[in-house]
A and B are shown apart, each in its own frame.
Chain A
Amino acid sequence: MTPPNRREKGLVRPYVVTDGRAHPTRNTFDLVTLVVAARDRPLGGLSPEKRRLMQLCMPGALSVAEVSGHLQLPVSVTKVLLGDLVDSGHIITRAPIPKAQLPDAQILQEVLDGLRARL
């Protein structure tokens, strides 16, 4: 099933999205850098991709990889867009969160006990 609001991939080529640039203005992004939208910035004047990026990031932090996945754009292209948005103050970056803990053994134990009690 295709969501109705899925963008047609390949219609707007990446060089149009970045206006021909391939190098982000800053080299501070990697796949797991978290980006957060600054809420006080106006969205007018942004290109459609940047606007969508801002809308994606509005509810909370997202990693660069997630952003690029949602926008259906290559990661390197997303980084160019993010670089612009950081420069204009629309986006704030954060260091990636430390690796989360593994699933708690306690929960697994609870599940096991529950199953035991049932069977």
Chain B
Amino acid sequence: MKSDIPAVAFWCLAAGALAVVVLLVRQQLITRALRARNATLEGRVKARDEEVRHLATVRLPALADAPHQPVLVPGLLDRRLAGTGFEQSLQDVMDLLAGVVDRAQVRADQSAKAALKASMRALQALANEQQMSISDMQDRHDNPDVLRDLLEIDHANSQFGRRAQAIAVLCGSWPGRQRASSPMTDVVRGAKSRIRDYRRVQVRTQVELAVVSRAVEPVVLAVAELLDNAARHSQPNTTVEVNLQPAHNGACIVIDDAGVGMDGPEVERATRVLSGQQVLDVTRLGDPPKFGFPVIGVLADRYGFTVSVDTRSPYGGVRAVVFLPSALLTQIETDDAYAAPPASVTPSEPAAGALPTRRPPSGAEEESLREGLRMPEPEPSHAQPQPDTEPEWLLGSTTGGLPKRRRRQPATTQPTSPPPAPAPAQGRSAEEIARRMGAFARGTRSGRATPDDDEGNPL
């Protein structure tokens, strides 16, 4: 019996040891698993820390810096987090911030635009007013020295007006002036009037096309900005050449400068801005702000013309092409029609009284002429009455519907055939008119029969 005890003890111990070993192994396994898990979790926590730091230092600033351009915001740092709730939360934060930034941006933009627009409109109105007084002064003073000073003031004022106008347009305002349809040449020269170095701009060609009324001012403004850029980015001794070219479904204004030109990225950026599609932010035009291209982009988009600057000019600079579609163009009566009546009288002997006949100016012109210059009305002269037998003292009518009258119709040339009566009034019969005319003719005849004294007065 006694010998059984050690054996029993041994077996007990062995079983205990086995259990311990099993437990130890299990413990070991559990510990290893826990360690691994711990390490994984630690890694994940670290990754999330990194991710949050990445969010705070890279992604959110990028978002804040570049609103309206969601694609440029960098993504997650750690791909393993993709699809987790953590990523979702981060995205929520991003979205929230994007919303806040957008709203703040829009608000800032709106208030900046509103403030700028209001002040620029006021300046624009002042510039226009001043331009009118300068024009009046130019009309009033007939002195070259005064004119020289006035031209300088006028020039400065035009540039000033253009700047104010450009900023106002950028802030969503209308270009402001309503103008009559004008020939393209005048449109380009109007643009030329508004830049500093206008003397370097040469308009080479003339076309017979005109720009429709509503597009005159925007096109003038856009071309002025292009000319200003061209003149500003080229040597002062070079010229800026402007060519007008009719095209199949529109016309082009081609502006060539001999300046520094633009490199690839600049052209790309300019093209983007000039398309007018890009959302414009007044607060991000750079320092100093660059208004030119954004203004052109806004105008081009609004009025439907296109501007491209992606070709090089033959002189190495930029070639800017403004394409005006047919919808913005019209035909205008040329000045040849204006002075059309072929001169039958040659100005060979303009002696006193034998002044060649000329087209009577239309009413409005004559009026402005007389008002502006205080001209005495030309007296009819009778010294050498012209043998003018054509009875057409009514030469059709003016464009305004008023009858045109030949002014110096000598009264003594047709004593017995009085001019036809002016459009008879409704209530008068033919006999009555004939009677009146006859009486008038008799009167003139008897008047001539009366003898005069030597001063020409009837006795």
- Residues on A close to B: CB < 8 A? 1-16, 18-20, 22-24, 31, 34, 36-37, 48, 51-52, 55-56, 58-62, 65-66, 68-70, 72, 74-77, 79, 94, 97-107, 109-118
Contact between A20 and B151, CB atoms less than 8 A apart: yes
**Within 8 Å of chain A (Cβ to Cβ): is B185?**
yes
**Within 8 Å of chain A (Cβ to Cβ): is B381?**
yes
**Within 8 Å CB of B336, what residues of A?**
55
**Within 8 Å of chain A (Cβ to Cβ): is B411?**
yes
Contact between A8 and B216, CB atoms less than 8 A apart: yes
**Within 8 Å of chain A (Cβ to Cβ): is B206?**
yes
A61 CA to B180 CA, complexed, in Å: 30
Q: Which of B342, B343, B355, B365 contacts A69 (CB 8 A)?
A: B365
**Within 8 Å CB of A3, what residues of B?**
362, 364-365, 398-400
- Residues on B close to A: CB < 8 A? 131-132, 135, 138-139, 141-148, 150-152, 154-155, 158, 179-180, 182-183, 185-187, 189-190, 192-193, 198-199, 206, 216, 220, 332-339, 341-343, 345, 347, 350-353, 355-359, 361-362, 364-365, 368-369, 372-373, 375, 378-383, 398-401, 411-412, 436, 439-444, 446-448, 450, 452, 456-458
Contact between B193 and A12, CB atoms less than 8 A apart: yes
A109 CA to B61 CA, complexed, in Å: 97
- Are A114 and B147 CB-contacts (below 8 A) given A8-B182, A70-B369? no
Contact between B412 and A107, CB atoms less than 8 A apart: yes
Contact between B339 and A16, CB atoms less than 8 A apart: no
Contact between B347 and A11, CB atoms less than 8 A apart: no
Most buried by A among B355, B412, B436, B443: B443
Contact between B439 and A70, CB atoms less than 8 A apart: no
A52 CA to B380 CA, complexed, in Å: 27
Contact between A58 and B339, CB atoms less than 8 A apart: yes
A97 CA to B187 CA, complexed, in Å: 39
Contact between A6 and B180, CB atoms less than 8 A apart: yes
**Within 8 Å CB of B146, what residues of A?**
76
| Chain B, Cβ-Cβ closest to A62 | B358
- Are A61 and B151 CB-contacts (below 8 A) given A1-B399, A8-B186, A74-B138? no
A56 CA to B411 CA, complexed, in Å: 27
Contact between B365 and A1, CB atoms less than 8 A apart: no
